[in-house]
Structure 1
Amino acid sequence: MWVRALRVIPRISPEEWRKLDVISRWLVSTRAAVLIMTFISAAVAGLLAARAGMFSLWHWALLAVGLIFAHATNNLLNDLTDFERGVDKDNYFRTQYGPQPLEAGLMTRKELLVYAAVTGAIALAAGLPLVLERGPLAWGLLAAGAFFVLFYTWPLKYIGLGEVAVILVWGPLMIGGGYFVITGQWDWQVALLSLPYALGATTVIFGKHIDKLKEDRARRIYTLPVLLGEKAARLTAVGMIVLMYALVVFAVVRGDFSPWMLVTLAGLAYAPRPVGMLLRAKPAERPADYSAEIWPLWYVAGAFYHNRGFGMFFLLGLVLQFFLG
């Protein structure tokens, strides 16, 4: 179950849940499969610090643990907030991308609060040595992270700012801020170089919000896809995918990245499928060659598939850049 929960977000029956150990329950309830996006941001920050000759394994380890557990805390609090507001009641779509522990009766409110408190405490324990060492700017970054953890689900997601928050968090905050706590130096160039991967993470949340656009609109949750409309939102997501690669090429041309970073273009091999999905309306029924385990998730599955491939080649480019110049 540990391996399965890290690969996909499994659908669990109450009977299966009762047989799980506490770590498996934590992995399922935090939707651990998506935490890979946060790990990649931490890895990017570490590799950029290594390129600058200022990498510290201790600082990076604290950063990675802090970010991953902060993201996990956010996922738990998202479910709690949506449950309290009645968003997930009789919400067919929500059950398709993993169990809602409270709505499904897998956990009580008290149990979820305990999970969130312990997870948040681990994140804080990892982050506290960093902010104590790095000073006021680090405290500001920690406060910004706490703000997004606590207020992403409400009110930011409700007023079309959730997607903007994702760009800021997975880019300048995680990568730019991560670089700062590792090296002790803030670098605006690093913050800008974080944008290709930040856009990738944003395509995932965009795909998720397009998938549940009708449900969100009915519940008066005005995500950016709800405000834009489905077709415009799908085209916006395609534009973000194109921009991810364009920014990498631009950074190479400017000399901010070495030519080795062009290996990131190999991620284009993962692009035709999600782009083709985004250019068309979602089919009414599951295609014969589409996984029954994933259906009816559509746009979010395609975006996650692409972002994972892009992220791996983006990291490979950074590794090659570090070792080969």
Structure 2
Amino acid sequence: MATVAEWIEGARPRTLPNAVAPVVAGVGATLQLGVFSWWQSLLALLVALSLIIGVNFANDYSDGVRGTDENRVGPLRLVGSGVAAPRLVLTAALGCLGLAGLVGLALVIATGRWWLLVLGAVCILGAWFYTGGKKPYGYAGLGEIAVFVFFGLAAVLGTVYVQVGEISWVALAVAVAVGCFSTAVLTANNLRDIPTDREHGKNTLAVRLGDTGTRRLYLALVAIPYVITILIGIFHPLALIALVTAIMFRTPVKAITTGGTGPGLIPVLRDTGLAMLAWSVLSGIALALS
């Protein structure tokens, strides 16, 4: 039976910045429009956290029962390592996704933004079918697109729209930036797993692009947000403060450009997520002050 520490590791805490960052950035874009609701922001954060933990457990379950995680490099996989029964991990996944749905429903009812019900349903289905079902889209190289949409566009713009009832070009720009950062985290993860994924027929985008192409994609994804920062800074100069977070990519970029593999890429996921969070906090504060 898995210990509490193993369940926490199985939830993949290194991925939590992917849930926190878009909400933080979205709150900044909301404040820039002169609106803010602390409880709506808090509920949006709870939805995002529940979704990402749910998708992590769902991924653990689905990959585990398929045998994809048997020789995986990286953080503990509950099912693949045999420390937790598949049905327990499945229950945890469905419980987290169900919580996301209930909190999202409460937020929609309270605000009257009814079309967000459709967005919420799509997010939950996307979380499950990433690696679940007979034809998971994560095995077809579409995972990066899903992460960009769900933990970039949907999370940021959903946070803004539920409070304001509209979105701005700044909110959209921030959403694209966060989406690129979040996709870079998955790209680094899939780069590390190319050998085992290819062996088990998991044709991620990294497997399709190959080692060199995936490294180039990562570098492009972490560069785009800083181009966006400069563009936003033309109209809101305080936003340029977020450029200082580029220094946090010194180690990840070195690992990517010098051919780091296996365990050597694990810190890249952590550092990319932390840089994304730092960028979101500084950009959010700058936009709020604007």
The normalised TM-score by structure 2 is 0.91
1:304, distance to aligned residue in structure 2 (A)? 3.0
Alignment of 1:13-92 (within 5 A): 17-18=2-3, 20=4, 24=5, 26-89=7-70, 91-92=71-72
Asked if the contact 2:50–2:100 (Cα under 8 Å) also holds between the matched residues in 1, the reply is: yes
1:299 corresponds to 2:280: no
Asked if the contact 2:26–2:284 (Cα under 8 Å) also holds between the matched residues in 1, the reply is: no
RMSD across aligned positions (CA):
2.0
1:274 corresponds to 2:252: yes
- Higher Cα Rg: structure 1 or 2? 1
Higher helix share goes to which structure? 2
Asked if the contact 1:42–1:64 (Cα under 8 Å) also holds between the matched residues in 2, the reply is: yes
Alignment of 1:135-150 (within 5 A): 135-150=113-128
Q: 1:204 to 1:153 in 2, by over 3 A?
A: same
Q: 1:281 to 1:37 in 2, by over 3 A?
A: same
- Structure-1 separation of matches of 2:6 and 2:36: 34
Q: 1:51 to 1:184 in 2, by over 3 A?
A: same
What residue in structure 1 maps to residue 106 of structure 2?
129
What residue in structure 1 maps to residue 144 of structure 2?
163
Alignment of 1:313-324 (within 5 A): 313-323=279-289
1:298 partner SS: helix
Q: 1:186 to 1:310 in 2, by over 3 A?
A: closer
1:33, distance to aligned residue in structure 2 (A)? 3.0
Tell me which of the two structures has the higher relative contact order, counting C-alpha pairs closer than 8 angstroms and 6 or more residues apart. 2
Asked if the contact 1:171–1:195 (Cα under 8 Å) also holds between the matched residues in 2, the reply is: yes
1:62, distance to aligned residue in structure 2 (A)? 1.0
Deviations 1:225-270 (A, max 9, x none): 11111111111211222212111112222x2xx1111111111211
The normalised TM-score by structure 1 is 0.81
Deviations 1:106-125 (A, max 9, x none): 22223223322332232222
Asked if the contact 1:153–1:162 (Cα under 8 Å) also holds between the matched residues in 2, the reply is: no
2:122 partner SS: helix
1:120 corresponds to 2:101: no
What residue in structure 2 maps to residue 107 of structure 1?
84
Deviations 1:72-120 (A, max 9, x none): 111111111112222123x142xx32x2212323222232233223322
What residue in structure 1 maps to residue 277 of structure 2?
311
Aligned residues: 286
Identical aligned residues as a percent: 21
Structure 1: stretches of 5+ with no match in the other structure: 1-13, 284-295
What residue in structure 2 maps to residue 239 of structure 1?
220
